[in-house]
Amino acid sequence: MTEIIDYLGDPWTLEFMRRGLIAAVVVGAVAAVIGSFVILKGMAFIGDALPHASFGGIAAAFVLGANLYLGGAIAAVLTALLIAFVSRRALIKYDTAIGILFVGAFAAGILIISRQTNYAPDLFSFVFGNVLGVSWSDVWITTVAGAVILILVVLFYKELLFVAYDPSMAAAAGLPVAAVQYGLMALIGITTVIGLQTVGIVLVVALLVTPAATAQLLTRRLPSMMALGAAVGVLSSVGGLYVAYYADVSASAAIVLTATAFFFLAFLFAPRRGLLWQRRFAPVEPA
Amino acid sequence: MTNSTAPGLVLEARDLWAGYDGQPALEGVTFNIETGCLAGLVGPNGSGKSTLLRVILGLHKPQRGDIRVFGSRGRPDRRRLGYTPQSEQVDWSFPVTLLDVVLMGRYGRLGPLRRPTKADHEIAWQALESVRLADLAHRRIGELSGGQQRRALIARALAQEADLLLLDEPLSGLDATAQHDLIALFEGLRHQGKTLLVATHDLSCVAADFDHAILLNRRVIAFGRPSDVFTEELLNTTFKRHLLLVRLEGRTYVGHD
């Protein structure tokens, strides 16, 4: 018994593990809540695009000596708003606009760094994530930003739900649809930026999509989908950090793969919607 | 607000022109709708029915012309206007229950940051009762049948306590029984003093049960009582080659795409 407790408790005797845990848990929960909207609106591509776009801002902030997260957040939010603007105007197709804007912003980041004579290894932690290298100030920023995002979702839940579910009816009812859509895009942008330090640009989309999709298979209503998604996100972060600690592998990859494992468990075994359930019961399912 | 309208008119459209990207959708549309009337907006696909509803709702700006809703120009009081979009435009896989959707009808009346109150819940339940779906309130919206889904959208408009209901193709894709149920519901609502404008290409329902019809194909071909405007000539003008009139043993049968 004490062995199990030692085994479970051992990683958290280290301060950098504790810092990483707090950051990963906050990001796992917040990303799943925002990610619920992302997958319901079919915006996974945006979840991939915004972290890439933030790299332009991170690089610019690095050169200017400004706060890297602030730079990343500004770039991500600006890109998000531009995507929303272009798609509302229907000038070009939605996914085309995303493709143009995020690669442009990412390339701007590479361009800026390539001019730096002193190489910038710091920036690579943004590409692949470095959750075990976060500082207390990173943890602090993440927690405050995450809390603000969750509070905004709770306060404007009614508007977010209505606009996500049926924008034309919401507009007919007099809700400020454009403002809500822009606001949601900005929240997605900020969420991806705080996700960067946990899993990095390349993998952050998994935090938005995978726990929320897992929860979607197991729930009937949006609030329970968000809550369960947050729980899956938190469990993935904790589980991933254990795997990283004991198997000595990349923490970001371990967190993402833990979430992927949860998804496949739900995909196979979810009541009613799981693959095995459908195989077994589909022929007798009543109309 | 000027109130120079004739009494009893809910809707007055005068020479409305509207379109998208230079493509005209409505060309000089003029008609009236009286209070407490069950009116059919009839025309083939692409005839501008949805655009006209969006113009009435204030969601699409007309290029020219004048629309008065409840006797006043400019942006209508949206709380009094109920709208149900075409079923294909609704995301039926979204994780919401029937009650969640009907409660959305209250959202326009609540300000920002305000939650539905107990009174809002009561009104939502009444709306569910009046479309006879109260026993399915906690079902996921995607689990409802086609006819139940149409009634769910109408319940949302009723929860809004709207006086004028604009229904976009509520009858299409339903079997005869479900259509009959829906028409009975329309008649009940008219009895309560609601005005309904129902976009449809189902001529037989309008002919049998509606008291007003607008034949639309970008312009208004005719408006009046169905028995007066459903003539072979006017229907052919409205539907062009999309309509097939077949005479069999003295009765006229109508087919269309």
Instruction: Report yes or no: B138 and B88 within 8 Å, Cβ to Cβ.
Output: no
Instruction: Report yes or no: A163 and A170 within 8 Å, Cβ to Cβ.
Output: yes
Q: Which helix (H) or strand (E) holds A238?
A: helix A222-247
> B9-256 architecture in CATH?
3-Layer(aba) Sandwich (3.40)
Q: What is the mean pLDDT of residues B207-219?
A: 91
Gap between the Cα atoms of B205 and B207, Å rounded = 5
Residue B164 has pLDDT above 90, yes or no: yes
| B177 alpha-carbon distance from chain centroid | 20
Percent of chain A predicted with pLDDT > 90:
56
Q: Which residue, among A286, A221, A287, has the nearest Cα to B137 in the 3D structure?
A: A221
Give the gap in angstroms from C-alpha B193 to the nearest C-alpha of chain A. 21
What spatial distance separates the first Cα and last Cα of chain B, rounded to whole Å? 43
Q: Residue A4's pLDDT band (boundaries 50, 70, 90)?
A: confident
Enter the DSSP assignment of B140: B
pLDDT for residue B5: 45
Domain with residue A169: its CATH number is 1.10.3470.10
Which residues in chain A are closer than 8 Å to B20, comparing Cβ atoms?
none
H-type helices in B90-145, by residue range?
A: 98-107, 118-130
Q: What is the mean pLDDT of residues B4-21?
A: 81
Residue A215 has pLDDT above 90, yes or no: yes
- With an 8 Å Cβ cutoff, is B121 touching chain A? no
Sheet of B23-34, strand order: B23-34, B9-20, B64-69
Query: Residues 196 to 235 of A: which have CB under 8 A from any B CB?
Result: 216, 219-222, 225
Does residue A125 form part of some domain? Answer: yes
Q: List chain B domain ranges.
A: 9-256
| Closest-CA residue of chain B to A37 | B94
Higher pLDDT, A278 or A82: A82
Residue B221 vs residues B3, B63, B196, B203, B217: alpha-carbon distances, Å = 28, 20, 20, 15, 7
Q: Residue A38's pLDDT band (boundaries 50, 70, 90)?
A: very high
pLDDT for residue B205: 84
What is the ipTM metric for this complex? 0.84
Amino acid type, A263: F
Option in B78, B94, B140 nearest A173 (CB): B78
Instruction: Report yes or no: B37 and B195 within 8 Å, Cβ to Cβ.
Output: yes
pLDDT in tens, B36-69: 999 999 998 889 999 999 999 988 889 999 999 9
pLDDT for residue A40: 94
Residue A67 vs residues A70, A73, A143, B48: alpha-carbon distances, Å = 5, 10, 16, 53
Q: What is the mean pLDDT of residues A144-162?
A: 96
For chain A, what is the mean pLDDT? 89
Name the residue range of residue A42's domain: 2-203
Residue B1 has pLDDT above 80, yes or no: no
Option in B90, B113, B116 nearest A166 (CB): B90
Higher pLDDT, A274 or B15: B15
Least confident of A178-182, A282-286, B122-126: A282-286
Gap between the Cα atoms of A194 and A125, Å rounded = 13
pLDDT for residue B254: 64
Q: Residue B257's pLDDT band (boundaries 50, 70, 90)?
A: low
Q: What is the mean pLDDT of residues A145-155?
A: 96
Amino acid type, B125: W
Which residues in chain A are closer than 8 Å to B79, comparing Cβ atoms?
173-174
Residue B239, classed as helix, strand or coil, is helix
Option in B95, B115, B160 nearest A158 (CB): B115
Q: How many domains does chain A have?
A: 1
pLDDT for residue B256: 59
Sheet of B81-84, strand order: B81-84, B164-168, B195-200, B38-42, B212-217, B219-224
- With an 8 Å Cβ cutoff, is A10 touching chain B? no
pLDDT for residue B54: 92
Residue B253, classed as helix, strand or coil, is strand
- With an 8 Å Cβ cutoff, is B156 touching chain A? yes
Gap between the Cα atoms of A82 and A97, Å rounded = 9
Option in A156, A173, A222 nearest B96 (CB): A222
Instruction: Report yes or no: A247 and A241 within 8 Å, Cβ to Cβ.
Output: no
Q: Residue A55 corresponds to which tokens in the numbers above? A: 């790299």
What is the Rg, in whole angstroms, of the alpha carbon atoms belonging to chain A? 20
Residue recorded with tokens 């696909």 = B45
- Those residues whose C-beta lies under 8 Å from the C-beta of residue A241, and which sit 6 or more positions away, are A11, A17, A20, A21, A24, A131, A251, A254, A255
Residue B200, classed as helix, strand or coil, is strand
Does residue A54 form part of some domain? Answer: yes
Does residue A282 form part of some domain? Answer: no
Pairing of β B64-69 and β B81-84: unpaired
Does residue A96 form part of some domain? Answer: yes
Pairing of β B9-20 and β B243-248: unpaired
Residue B179 vs residues A127, B40, B115, B170, B189: alpha-carbon distances, Å = 57, 14, 35, 9, 15
Gap between the Cα atoms of B113 and B175, Å rounded = 41
pLDDT for residue A119: 61
CA atoms within 13 A on the CB side of A164: 25
Query: Residues 139 to 158 of A: which have CB under 8 A from any B CB?
Result: 155-156, 158
pLDDT for residue B33: 93
Residue A285 has pLDDT above 60, yes or no: no
B104/A172 Cβ within 8 A: no
Gap between the Cα atoms of A227 and A215, Å rounded = 8
pLDDT in tens, A50-102: 999 999 999 899 889 888 888 999 999 999 888 888 877 767 777 888 888 88
Residue B214 has φ and ψ, to the nearest 5°, of -115, 120
Q: Residue A277 corresponds to which tokens in the numbers above? A: 């359930």
Q: Residue A120 corresponds to which tokens in the numbers above? A: 């910038």
Q: Residue B3's pLDDT band (boundaries 50, 70, 90)?
A: very low
Option in B95, B108, B116 nearest A173 (CB): B108
Instruction: Report yes or no: A209 and A220 within 8 Å, Cβ to Cβ.
Output: no
Least confident of A229-238, A278-287, B130-139, B191-200: A278-287
Q: What is the mean pLDDT of residues B87-109?
A: 93
A156/B112 Cβ within 8 A: yes
Gap between the Cα atoms of B238 and A161, Å rounded = 40
Query: Residues 210 to 239 of B: which have CB under 8 A from any A CB?
Result: none
Residue recorded with tokens 């949006």 = A222
Does residue A38 form part of some domain? Answer: yes
